[in-house]
Every structure is written in C-alpha cells, then in structure tokens.
Structure 1
C-alpha cells in the first residue's frame, strides 16, 4: 500500500474539532465580507425608541423580542441579584475566557462566570465552560464563602423568576392565537374555561397541555452566563460596522449550543457607582445615546430591514423568544459605566453533563477485565466496533473534558471546589483507557493474526492516535502561548494531563509520534513490528 493511501485512511482522524470550528468561522467571515462589500461605505438605517417608526418596526420584524422594564420586576429580585453580582465581582470570581476565533486564540474583553445546574457545561468558540453549581436539592455544594453562596442562590432565584415570566409571555401569545379561532382563554395563564359538553374543548386542552410542556422545556434555563463589562478596562472596542451604532462590547452573534427554539433571557445591571466613566469621546455617536448601554438587533445577513438599538436601564430584562436567536443576530453596544448581565439559556446538554460523560466512561470500561487472582488486565473484545468505541470515548474524555477544564486553570476554586472530585474520577477512567490502548497495541504485536486482520485493526486505531497526537500538541501550544501567560497566575491554563516520555506511572508516552510511525510502517510491510 502506498503512503498516499495511508494518509487517505487516516484523514478522518486529522479532522479535529478545532478544524471544524475553523471552517464554520471562515463561512461566517465570508458572509460578513460579502455584506460589507454590498453596502460599501454607506451605513444601514437603524431605529431607537426615539424614532416614531420604532414600535411599528418592532412588531413587524422583531415581534419575538420582549422587554420587561425594571419597574415591573419585584424589588426583592433587584436587591438580591445586584448585591450578588457585585459580591462575585469583589471576590474576583469573573475571568476572561481564552477562546478560539478563526483558529486563533483570543482573550475575551468581557469577564465571565457560568452558574447553573450541577454538572452542566456550556460550549462556545471551542471553549467548554463548567458551571459553578447554584443551590440544588440533593446536591452538596461548598462555596468559598457564605457571601458567594448567597450570590449563587440569588442567581438561582432570578433564573426561576425569568423562567416563569418567559412561560407567561409565550402562553399569552398562544392564548391570543387561540382567541382568533374562537376559543376562550385566560390572559395570564392560557387555561381554557372548561366546557364538559365540548369535544373541541377537550381536543384543545390536550393540545394546550402538549404546548405547555414544549414551552416549559424551551424556558427551563439550566445555565446562566454572567458577564462583567467595564469600558474603562477594555483597551479596544470595535465600531459597529453595518449601522454606525457606535462602540461594541460584544460583536454581532447568535448564542451557541442552545436547545432549538429555546428562549434566552437577560437581566441587565449597570450603575453609576460601579466604577469610573469611560472615555467621553464616544459621545459623538448619532442615533442612540452612547452613555447608555444598548442591545443591537438585526435580521441575520439582511440589509433591507432596519436594525434596532434599544436602551437598557439598570434592572431591565429582555427575552429573545422562540427562534429569534436563530433568525436574528444581536450585539451589545457599550455605555459609559461598567455593566453586569445575567444571560439565562437552555444549553444543549445531551453531551455536556457529568452524567453523560460518566456513562460514556462506563461503556468503555465494559471492554476491560482483570484476572481475579493476578489482577492482570486484558481486553474483552478486539472487534473493530469495540476498538472504535473505546478510542472515541478516550479522546472525548481527554480533549472535551480534562483538557478543557484544566485549560481554565483553577479559577473555579475561587467560588467552589465542586468540580475537582468529578474531574479526578474522570482522569482515573482516562488512565484506564490509556492502559486499554496499550493492551490493544500489544495484541497487534503478539496475536496470531493474519496480516489482513492486523491491518484492519491498525486502520481502525490509527486515526484516533493521530488525532490524539495532533490535539495534544495544539493544547500544549495554547497553554504556553503569550496570551495564556499574560493571565493572572491563578487563572493561567494548565497542560493537564501531561507527563514525560518514560514515566513509569503511565502506560504510554505523551508523544505518540513513534507509535504512529510504527503503525504506519506496519501497513506498509507484511512483517512490520509494533512496539508499545
């Protein structure tokens, strides 16, 4: 077999997750450049509440945006949440994320903290954030201080409030639709007035119950991404490129990794006593008031419909309902003062919880057995499906969990040490999977197999080892980058797991290059030898 064929066989393994993200980034950049070229030097129109057409445009093109002003939110919510946010900031719980955009590391100007259901994670820009657990029944969480614990409880209370409010808005919309076709509904709860003699009512009630269940799923926020933005600490704020809305703290985007058609709810808190004012040269912006934080909204890649910029006062909330986050893009336009936001989401967690990854580890471990007398480990099955499954899980645990967690340093310890025990358990399982890979390599070398059988197993295994080698080099480079070293010491990434070749405690070397080379040669030679 020629070397070109070997490379073709291993192409899947080299298509790492980061490269797939890069392809997505390039597609977005292409759309952006096409849009900027089409509008050339002119600026697209946008409206603020000062414009007489604002309400009409909002209803026509942005109907799934709902704003709840601070005066309509219970004062108790404001007091506890705002105190909690400032407590978390005072305790240095917020940190910048080192993310990847266009395959390059970028330090977010926004400081962030993820709070949510215990064991949940949230992914964006090739970065997995791990929740600081809010208080949950049956889960013991030890916070770094009582004040931090109270802050997390306040965020949980806000989450429940926003869930109820989002349900009300969506059910009210359902009620309006129902009334148009002749049914009677209560405005606040959308509960049908019962009529035992009506088959239509029974049918409607069944549909209403189903609708309520769906809407509950789409508004049961499992995480909130807390943001802290201080214009005086942001060295460079980009100008909004399409409408001339002024300085942006967060560029145009869709929120990622969400359950389809789920609501995003945001609580805004900016206050004069949070810090020094930013550079007042920003006051030349036309249209919106540059001293006040705004959210910009536009239909994705559309230059025919004017955009919106709506101001946010301290305590205001807004909801992006149903598919608005999919069909529209939003940005955050900087004001003069520091700002907090709590952005509540229904994160897509089918592969993003501890329960999920522990179940995956259990699947892999089922292929490992130990002699009851001698304790010597061996593989139960050497079938290709078993090899593929084990090595997939091996890479998933290492690169989607262990390295993602330690890349963020030990910053979660500022709030709680909750994650350290489950990560230790995951690392233990991962070490077992390293042992399983070694056992497979030994089998390839020693088993009385035909050349064809050996080649089949090698072709199955090799792409996963190549991916492992490539990703280990990428993660090490990211951990040693200039940006990584610029972070505070207690927030700097750790390249973990890491060990030196020849470490007797590890089944295999960290650098897989020699093993990969031997396997490739094995495919080229009937009598090749693979050493582990």
Structure 2
C-alpha cells in the first residue's frame, strides 16, 4: 500500500503548470498541423471528385516510356538473372526463420496509439546494429558471415546461423550488383526478363497476369520492402489515411475516421462509371505535363470510348493542385526530419561511394490470414497489403534492394492447382503529392528483385498489392545508424561515466565536475540509455533471447552502466540541495536537474502504460512487453525511487525559495 500511495501522490502546482504548458504547446502545434493536413486532403478529394488517377501496367501503351521518364530510379531484376544456388539458399533460410518463430508482429506507436503491424518481421544485419521506425527500435540478429568476427558464435543454433549466413550472401550480392549498375540497365533488365519469359510457359502466365492485374485482388508484387516495415509510416498516414493495414485498424483520430468514411463513399459512388484506369494512354499524361490539362480518357474493355475519367473543365487545373500539394509535401518532409528521439541530432548523411547495406528487414504476410484488405483508393490498382509510404530512417539517397519470394505453405510447396491460377503480387509507385503523373504498377514473380535507387524513395511513394499466396520479402537498407549501434551507445555511456569517480578502497562515489554543461550532458545520456535502449529492448519481451542470445550480455552491461547513472543523478541532487553552493550556480543546476527528472518521470509513466495496455496483454508470455527497469520503493540496491514525483517536488520547492 505504501508503494501504491507513492505512485498516486499528487504532483505540486508548479509541476502541473509545467506539464500543462508543455502539453498545451505540443497539442496546439499538433492540432494545427493535423487540422491543416485534413483540410488539404478534403480539398484534394473535392478536386478529384469521383475520378480515378490513371496508372500503367506492362500491357499498357506507354508503360516503358513512363518508367523511363518518371520512375527511372526503379530497377527490376528478374528471378532468372540471379544464381539458382542463391535462390535455393535464401528461400530455405526464409522458411527456416518462419518455422523457428523468428518472424513476429511488432507493437508500434502511431499517433500516440499502439498498434500491431499487419506483417510479421525480423531484423538481420551487422552485429550491434538497430533499425528504428514508428517509435520502435528493432535489434538486429547478426548475420554470421565467414569474414566477420561475431562475438558469441554460439548465440544461436546451427540452422539459424546457416539461415542468417544465406541472407548475408544475398546482401553481398545486392551490394555488388547495385554498385555496378549503370544508367540504362533498368530497361535492359526489363527487356531481358521479358524476352526470356516469353520463351517458356511463364510468358503466357505473365501476360495473363499483367492484363488482369488491374482488376484482380492481388498481383505479383516485388517489393515487400518497406511495405511491411513502414506499413504504418507517418507519411503513409498523412497522404493515404485509407492505407493503414494494422490488424488493429490503426484508424487514427475520430475526425480522420469520419474523413475516411466520407472518402470511401465518394469512391464507391464513382466506381460505377469507372473502367480500367490503367488503360489510359501515356499521351494524355504527356499533355498534362505540357500544361494542356485535358480530361483523362480511358478505353472500355470492348474498345469503345467512355466518359473521361479525370478533372472536370470547371475544376482547378491539375498543375495548381500539384502546387498546393507540394507545399504540403515540404511541410511533411520537415516534420519527417525532426529526429528519432536522440539527445543530439546530427545532420543528415548522404549516401556516396559503394553501396553497403547494413540491415535487412524480413517480412512475411499471408493474405488468407488477414481479416480484410482495403482497395487502393486513388488509382484502382486492387487490394493493398501495404499502403502508400516512404521508407524511413535511411541514409539520404541510399538505395533499397528487395527480394520477393511467394510460397503456398510453410514448406515452400505449392498448393493444389498451378501457380498460373494464383493472382500475383505487385508493387505500385506514384510520384509523391502529384496527381497528374500516372502511377506505375509492376507485377513480379517469385524470386524477382527490385532496387529503388537515387532519390526515388524520397520523391516517390510505393505500396504493395496483395496476391493470393503467402509471401516473404527481404528488404535490404542502408539504415541511418549514427545513434543506433551498440558501439555508439557504449561510447555514450563511457562519456557520462567519465564524470564519476569511484574510490578503490571504500567503493564510494563522487562527481568529478559540477559544470552545468557536463551535468546536462550526463542526464541526457542517462535518459537516452533508459528510453532508447533498455526499455525499447525489454518492450519486445523475451523474443530475442529465445532464438538468439547475442544481445543478452551487452544489454546486461548497459543496465549496469545505467544504474551508475542513477547514482550520478543522486549525487547531482545532493549538490543542488547543498546550501554552501553559490545561489546562481545552484539555480542553473536545479533547472537542468528539474528538466531531466520531469522528462524521465513522464516517459516512465508512458512506458508503463504501454507495457500494461490491452494490446500488450494479448501477447503470449514469451513475447509480452516487460516493464524493465522497474523497482519498488524499498529496493536497497537503487539510489533513487522509480517514481520521481517527490524528488521533483523537492527541486521545485528549492527553485521557489531562490
């Protein structure tokens, strides 16, 4: 009862005032921003009315020209251009990882709500690397390569180690292949793949798929890339509120839900007059690019002309719409670059030199297990497995390489019926915030790969259109890891602990320096270790240690370092409360301490709420979030209490008296 009363003790008026002011300021900024985005979305939808934006598929006239002029950063590698032995090892590795239970759904944070990702995933990569998205840090299972000394080679069983090595071999192939590609190779690869496909039975199958894909519920997708990883991406939410496919809905605010219903209704009303938007000729799009802005005409399946699918004459020109959306896009990119919670954000890195993918995000989705898949709302491309989005937290202008593998069961075997009877997976691409450039829809066969090069990921958005079979993807990335490696956070710990002196005889501690800048840096590192590493790791439960123990010892050491930082905060508090200190110096120190403690107190409560949320309680014990570090009020091993309300009140009272 004593512990419960401590947690429920009311905060002081000053602390409440600080929290209210902070929350009010953030809510005002967030509310203004979200409100403006909703108004722009509604204005865009009003301009479009019941029309669909055209898109082109391989069977459409002008497809290759559109690819060359508007999507030149996209490169396709047909499955026949990869070594057969590599296909065999990679596909066996993906099945092994799924069989061992390594692919799991993430509980991510979207607009202050926890949601499960629609896809199951795992992160592999360089030892000690992490990948952060949607307020979630994934900790990489190291790929066990022969020429990399991975500490703790016995961290997983031989089968899992062999699977990781196979994906490292695929990563090595991608690094070499992407670096060697020259301008123009994209069309060469596509033409080569088409020519080889036509020589066998696959030619008829692919032709059938490409013609039927616009009305099928799924297509042959090649990129599952960020599809799974960034399904709930913030960019996706802002442009395409309909494309959130978490099993929990991820529907956002009530206003957004109302807008979504309104938008769906407008689409349904317009579908009765729609025919295949993908059959629009590229000539119409070219006229738009020249500023002529004609109606988007389409051909009916029987060859007769139908009413144009496009903007009406009395509506604003498409170019004006594009301009208004460009302003929206600039604002969105500024918010996207606002940082990932690191204490000292660094300037964005730009990819240069040979490509070196440092992680791969593995994804698995079975459409048959999905409760529902939503229709792609703007182009009519079909059922979406993953909505429109950019991939996030990557080195600027770095490429992304994706390997796609479709199978019919966990053994990789086909079900009854030939593969030609199954709808293939597809990838859809569009120019971000642009409604006059037609979209591109690309069907892919199992084993196909694709690359997004140059600035394609930042200037375009992509989605994944579901096929009929289960699908794996291995999405290789150059993750922005300036503050996301074990080496980085260990160096930060050493930086903070260098200000702590331990007496070798008595074991007592004292702070080396009381300079405000030094103390502030130490407290920022303290919060970074606790909230960006320890709590992120334990929020994902015991699942890492179940099949790979590589991170176990490093996280134990990080927790020991963090405990010493708790001691440093206790010594900092004692120095602030020391009456002999000069008042001016004490006040500056007290303000630094109060800011750090208030932030720590609020974040601890947020993480406790997340760990005990209704969604978290649905997970099995071995996957459920763990509220760690956590300790009771009478724990003698901890220098400070878990609940910091009393200490915050003491520092506030001290500031009032100064």
Identify whether the pair has TM-score above 0.5, normalized to the shorter chain.
Answer: yes
Number of the residue aligned with 1:56: 65
- The alpha-carbon deviation at position 405 of structure 1 amounts to 0.6
* 2:597 corresponds to 1:465: yes
Query: Is the CA contact 1:220–1:346 (under 8 Å) kept in the aligned structure 2?
Result: yes
* 2:607 corresponds to 1:475: yes
Pick from 110, 121, 125 the counterpart of residue 116 of structure 1: 125
Aligned length in residues: 476
Matches within 5 A, 1:187-336: 215-217=352-354, 219-274=355-410, 291-336=423-468
Pick from 173, 180, 193 the counterpart of residue 161 of structure 1: 173
- The alpha-carbon deviation at position 34 of structure 1 amounts to 5.1
Query: Is the CA contact 1:9–1:459 (under 8 Å) kept in the aligned structure 2?
Result: no
* 2:474 corresponds to 1:346: no
- The alpha-carbon deviation at position 15 of structure 1 amounts to 9.1
Q: For the structure 1 residues 81 and 500, does the alpha-carbon distance in structure 2 shift closer, same or farther, using more than 3 Å as the test?
A: same
Q: For the structure 1 residues 273 and 257, does the alpha-carbon distance in structure 2 shift closer, same or farther, using more than 3 Å as the test?
A: same
Pick from 80, 85, 108 the counterpart of residue 94 of structure 2: 85
Number of the residue aligned with 2:164: 152
Using the TM superposition, name which of 321-330 and 164-173 deviates more: 164-173
Query: Is the CA contact 1:360–1:393 (under 8 Å) kept in the aligned structure 2?
Result: yes
Q: Considering only aligned residues, what root-mean-square deviation do their CA atoms show, in Å?
A: 3.0
- The alpha-carbon deviation at position 41 of structure 1 amounts to 2.9
Distance 1:21 1:355 in 2: 35
Distance 2:425 2:32 in 1: 33
SS of 2:467 mapped into structure 1: coil
Distance 2:556 2:606 in 1: 23
Q: For the structure 1 residues 227 and 214, does the alpha-carbon distance in structure 2 shift closer, same or farther, using more than 3 Å as the test?
A: closer
Matches within 5 A, 1:21-40: 35-40=44-49
* 2:271 corresponds to 1:139: no
* 2:496 corresponds to 1:360: no
* 2:650 corresponds to 1:518: yes
Using the TM superposition, name which of 59-68 and 131-140 deviates more: 131-140
Query: Is the CA contact 1:361–1:429 (under 8 Å) kept in the aligned structure 2?
Result: yes
Distance 2:468 2:45 in 1: 28
Pick from 533, 555, 562 the counterpart of residue 423 of structure 1: 555
Deviations 1:33-54 (A, max 9, x none): 5544442332211111121221
- The alpha-carbon deviation at position 477 of structure 1 amounts to 0.6
Using the TM superposition, name which of 134-143 and 32-41 deviates more: 32-41
Deviations 1:374-415 (A, max 9, x none): 221011111110111000000000000000011111111233
Number of the residue aligned with 1:45: 54
Matches within 5 A, 1:162-177: 162-170=174-182
Query: Is the CA contact 2:404–2:471 (under 8 Å) kept in the aligned structure 1?
Result: yes
Number of the residue aligned with 2:115: 106
SS of 2:156 mapped into structure 1: coil
In structure 1, runs of 5+ residues without a counterpart are: 177-212, 279-288, 527-532
Pick from 530, 536, 543 the counterpart of residue 411 of structure 1: 543
Which structure has more strand as a fraction of its residues? 1
SS of 1:459 mapped into structure 2: helix
- The alpha-carbon deviation at position 238 of structure 1 amounts to 2.6
Deviations 1:256-299 (A, max 9, x none): 11011000000000023458999xxxxxxxxxx99211111111
Distance 2:351 2:534 in 1: 34
* 2:588 corresponds to 1:456: yes
Distance 1:19 1:130 in 2: 34
